[in-house]
Amino acid sequence: MSTCLLTEAERQSLLRFLQALVKTPSPSGQEDQVAALILEEMRRLGYDEVWMDRAGSVVGRIGPTSGPALMFNSHMDTVAVTDASSWIADPFDAVIRDGCLYGLGACDMKAGLAATVYGAAVAARRCSSLSGSILVACVGLEEPSEGTCTRLLFEEGQLSPAWVVIAEPSNLNVVRAQRGHVEMTLSVEGRSAHSSAPELGENAIYAAARLVFGLELLSGQLGDDHFMGSGVLTVTDIRSHAVSQNAIPDRCEMFLDRRLTVGETEAMALLEVQRVIAREAVRAEVRVIEQEVTTHTGQVLTARRVSLPWILDERHSLVQAMLKAAKAVGLRPSTTHWHFATEGAYTATVARVPTIGFGPGDPTLLHCCNERVELKQVYAAASAYAALVERLLGS
Ligand SMILES: [Zn+2]
């Protein structure tokens, strides 16, 4: 059995840190207090260097800067609490029941974050020397705009790791693929008229309805991949505008959520919708959503709501190294994929760094009431991260 297993003292210390993280609210854009806790913990654990960039992302480094770097990547933010009264306990109490820690962000993804902070420290204690550096990156604003803060770390902070591990929940399986994501608005134009004489106007709702049926048909004809599954297109919101309730609506706007599978691109996703518009001969325009987000340090960043799918071959050395590291600490991982978007969308497709996912927690519990994580998984994840460091950077 690997020497990377955590001692009882290390487990207790990791648990205290995780509970402190869960007890500290960190909705997107307000991660300052959690960031401060992470900085403090990394310093306490003896990281070689710890810093915060202008977007408020925290990075800790252990090991020499001369060799290849392995980055563990987590996000500090959580979604808002939904339906607090249905929880078994206050979502910020971080209570433990039946071996699970309950709380907002427990699974998504403060457990993974805490495990990477400890995994790196444990690896440093067990390895006599490292041939490169371990970078533990903790970013904000993942929930509203995945990839935005990691992009800054790479492009402004000039971090260029050789490998990235995203610590989002995977039930301790190795994730080697993730679907892409395009969010679009579809604006349909009509012409206003009094509703007593609709023939003088052009009803934007009727035009939009024709597009909705066209989009539903399109959603059954998208790309497919045997490992990642098919592309998805869903109309998730629709709003119309009329000068009054006795007027023909002159505008109707829809929100489209498109998930991309292997081989699908942003351009394809737009073109397919434009074809539906052309076929229905409707005056409409489709656009990818761009939004401004504000970091907890007050920086305003522009985020395009696009991420591309990525997939690593089963035989890739990083996939194999993570499988072996997990087995070395007693786990039985398989390879899988994520349906949801993560910071890997940036690291794998834009920065083109081999990226995998591996983290504690059940991915079906994200954004749910009674979000929780099994503590056994948290400790095992930290050990597996340490074992991965040993494999990739151990001398
Ligand atoms: Zn997450």
Structure-model confidence comparison of residues 378 and 82, the more confident one = 378
Q: Distance, CA 166 to ligand 1 centroid (Å)?
A: 10
Q: Distance, CA 173 to ligand 1 centroid (Å)?
A: 16
Q: Distance, CA 223 to ligand 1 centroid (Å)?
A: 26
> Over 90: is that where the pLDDT of 2 sits?
no
Q: Distance, CA 280 to ligand 1 centroid (Å)?
A: 38
Pairing of strands 232-241, 251-260: antiparallel
> Over 70: is that where the pLDDT of 299 sits?
yes
Predicted confidence at residue 215, as pLDDT, reads 98
Q: Distance, CA 212 to ligand 1 centroid (Å)?
A: 30
> Over 70: is that where the pLDDT of 123 sits?
yes
Pairing of strands 163-166, 69-75: parallel
Q: Distance, CA 340 to ligand 1 centroid (Å)?
A: 9
3-state secondary structure of 245: coil
Torsions phi, psi of 14, nearest 5?
A: -60, -40
| CATH numbers and ranges of domains, the chain | 8-178+309-393 (3.40.630.10), 180-293 (3.30.70.360)
Q: Distance, CA 247 to ligand 1 centroid (Å)?
A: 44
Q: Distance, CA 378 to ligand 1 centroid (Å)?
A: 15
Q: Distance, CA 390 to ligand 1 centroid (Å)?
A: 26
pLDDT confidence band for 85 (50 / 70 / 90) = confident
369-392: per-residue pLDDT in tens? 999 999 999 999 999 999 999 999
236-261: per-residue pLDDT in tens? 999 999 999 999 999 999 999 999 99
pTM, 2 dp: 0.92
Locate 37 and state its tokens.
């806790």
Q: Distance, CA 168 to ligand 1 centroid (Å)?
A: 6
As a whole number of angstroms, the distance between CA 389 and CA 35 comes to: 24
Q: What percent of the chain has pLDDT over 70?
A: 100
Q: Distance, CA 363 to ligand 1 centroid (Å)?
A: 9
Q: Distance, CA 332 to ligand 1 centroid (Å)?
A: 23
Q: Distance, CA 192 to ligand 1 centroid (Å)?
A: 44
Q: Distance, CA 36 to ligand 1 centroid (Å)?
A: 20
Name the residue with tokens 């970013």: 139
Q: Distance, CA 221 to ligand 1 centroid (Å)?
A: 29
Mean pLDDT value of segment 153-165: 96
Widest Cα–Cα separation across the chain: 83
Residue 329 · residue 363 · CB < 8 Å: no
Mean pLDDT value of segment 126-132: 91
4-58: per-residue pLDDT in tens? 999 999 999 999 999 999 999 999 999 999 999 999 999 999 999 999 999 999 9
Predicted confidence at residue 207, as pLDDT, reads 97
Predicted confidence at residue 18, as pLDDT, reads 98
Q: Distance, CA 150 to ligand 1 centroid (Å)?
A: 14
Q: Distance, CA 367 to ligand 1 centroid (Å)?
A: 9
> Over 90: is that where the pLDDT of 234 sits?
yes
Lowest-pLDDT choice from 76-85, 138-147, 153-162: 76-85
Predicted confidence at residue 347, as pLDDT, reads 97
Q: Following DSSP, what letter does each residue of 27-89 receive, concatenated?
A: BTT--HHHHHHHHHHHHHTT-SEEEE-TT--EEEEES-SSS-EEEEEEE--B-----GGGSSS
> Over 70: is that where the pLDDT of 1 sits?
no
Q: Distance, CA 29 to ligand 1 centroid (Å)?
A: 14
CA distances from 260 to 49, 231, 272, 307, 337 (A): 38, 5, 13, 9, 13
Q: Distance, CA 208 to ligand 1 centroid (Å)?
A: 33
Q: Distance, CA 22 to ligand 1 centroid (Å)?
A: 14
Predicted confidence at residue 107, as pLDDT, reads 97
Mean pLDDT value of segment 353-372: 94
307-329: per-residue pLDDT in tens? 999 999 999 999 999 999 999 99
Q: Distance, CA 276 to ligand 1 centroid (Å)?
A: 33
